[in-house]
Amino acid sequence: MAFRPVTARAPGVLLREAKPLRAIFGHAQRLGHLQRLLESQLQPAAREHCHVASWREGNLLLIVTDGHWATRLRYQHKRLLRQLMAFDEFANLTRIQFKVQPPTVHPGTAGHTLDLSTNAAETIQATADGIRDPVLRTALERLAAHARPKA
C-alpha cells in the first residue's frame, strides 16, 4: 500500500472545518469581540494594559500588565461593571477580577549590551597579561574581546 500525502489546504479552510481548530478559532474570535467591547469602555491609556483572559458564569477575568494599572482599574470597578452590563454579551456579568501578569520578555531582546571602548579593552587586556591565574586571565581576555570595533 503506497502512502499518498494529503493535499495541502488553506489555513482558513482548516480553521472552519477541523472541529478542534474550529472550536479554538471560535473561542479566540469570541474573546476578541469581548476585548473590543471592553476597550470601548476603557480610557485610551489603559487599553494596551488590559486584556480579556476569560468570561464564564458571570465572571470576567482581566489580565493587567502591572500593579499600577490594576489599581487604577480596581478604582473604576463599579463604573466598568455597570457599563459592561449594558452590552448583551455581558448581561449576566456579576464580577470582574483583575490579575497582574507582566508581559513576557523574550530572551535576547532585553538586557544589557556590552559596549567597551577600545581604550577600556586595551586596559583590561593589559591587566589580563599580568595575571597568573589561568581562569581569571581567560575571563579578562574574553571581556576585552567585547570592545567596539574601531570606526
pLDDT along the chain (151 residues), means of 10: 76 75 86 95 93 94 94 95 94 94 71 73 89 89 78 51
pLDDT recorded at residue 104: 82
pLDDT recorded at residue 22: 81
pLDDT recorded at residue 106: 64
pTM of structure = 0.60
CA max distance for the chain? 76
